[in-house]
Chain A
Amino acid sequence: EDQVTQSPEALRLQEGESSSLNCSYTVSGLRGLFWYRQDPGKGPEFLFTLYSAGEEKEKERLKATLTKKESFLHITAPKPEDSATYLCAVQALGTSGTYKYIFGTGTRLKVLA
């Protein structure tokens, strides 16, 4: 069964304390893996798309990496404004030429000043 699992569910960091969020997936025919940031009561904000194992992308204090089984979102020297829920999603081939788009349940990050 296709599955996307994010860990940890929640993470508390001190300002400046670097860490990584994990997104592991079991799907066939991966077309892309996506990271989003979501603030409470708001719509998700797109961060990255990764297409193939070995690919890396960076944006400010965030760096996303992809392997054949999982993706990591590394947060370097986080600030309180990085506090949010980080969502991972995968797009995979479905049946009869369709595709599936599956989200993980997210990691709630809290960065303390």
Chain B
Amino acid sequence: DSGVTQTPKHLITATGQRVTLRCSPRSGDLSVYWYQQSLDQGLQFLIQYYNGEERAKGNILERFSAQQFPDLHSELNLSSLELGDSALYFCASSVGGDITNEQFFGPGTRLTVL
């Protein structure tokens, strides 16, 4: 158990809908990272927040957004969902703000878009 929690574990929804994925980092970690893992594209870095502020942005679509709250938990919002958004979404956390810090991954949320 990495200490990072993600909810829900599974999510099934329809195209065009909007969903919110939640992540709680390990105690003491200030950075939260979001990743998408699909069969055809592998693991992709989406975005990083450090102590409430956006620190780095990867291949995140405009339909997706994220935020980190004062209690350091983070939410990833996915809107206007498409079939291709079906994937495993992982959250990771680290102590510092540099992405080279050791990251601890959560168990993931499996999103299925029908």
Which of A41, A49, A99, A104 is within 8 Å of B56, CB to CB? A99
Residues 1 to 59 of chain A near chain B (Cβ within 8 Å): 31-32, 34, 41-46, 49, 51
Give Cα A104–Cα B37 distance, bound, in whole angstroms: 12
> Digit string of B31-52 for contact with A (CB within 8 Å is 1, else 0)?
0000000000011110000000
Q: What are the residues of chain B within 8 A of A64 when measuring CB–CB?
A: none
Contacts A91-B100, A101-B99 known; A43 to B92 CB distance under 8 Å?
Answer: yes
In whole angstroms, what is the CA distance A101 to B44 when docked? 8
Asked if residues A100 and B58 are in contact (CB atoms below 8 Å), the reply is yes
Q: Do most interface residues of chain A lie in helix, strand or loop, or is the interface mixed?
A: strand
Q: Is the beta-carbon distance between A32 and B43 smaller than 8 angstroms?
A: no
- How does the 8 Å CB contact mask read for B44-79 relative to A, with 1 for contact and 0 for none? 110000000000111000000000000000000000
Contacts of B107 in A (CB 8 A): 42-43
Q: How large is the interface on B (under 10, 10 to 19, 20 to 34, 35 or more residues)?
A: 20 to 34
Q: Are A101 and B58 closer than 8 Å at their CB atoms? A: yes
Which 8 pairs show the lowest CB-CB distances between chains A and B?
A43-B105, A101-B45, A103-B43, A32-B100, A105-B42, A46-B102, A43-B90, A44-B105
Q: Verify B92–A98 contact, CB threshold 8 A.
A: no
Task: Tell me how many residue pairs across A and B have CB atoms closer than 8 Å.
Answer: 50
Given A42-B107, A42-B108, A49-B100, 11 additional A-B pairs, CB 8 A? A31-B100, A41-B108, A43-B2, A43-B90, A44-B43, A46-B105, A49-B102, A51-B100, A89-B43, A91-B100, A103-B45
Contacts of B108 in A (CB 8 A): 41-43
CB distance from B11 to the nearest CB of A (A): 15
Q: B104 contacts A46, CB within 8 Å?
A: yes
Q: Give Cα A89 to B58, complex, Å.
A: 13
Residues in B whose Cβ lies below 8 Å from that of A101:
45, 56, 58, 99
Enumerate chain B residues within 8 angstroms of A31, measured Cβ to Cβ: 100
Complex CA–CA separation, A31 to B102 (angstroms): 14
Known A-B contacts A43-B92, A44-B90; A91 and B42 likewise in contact (beta carbons under 8 Å): no
B13 contacts chain A at the CB level, 8 A cutoff = no
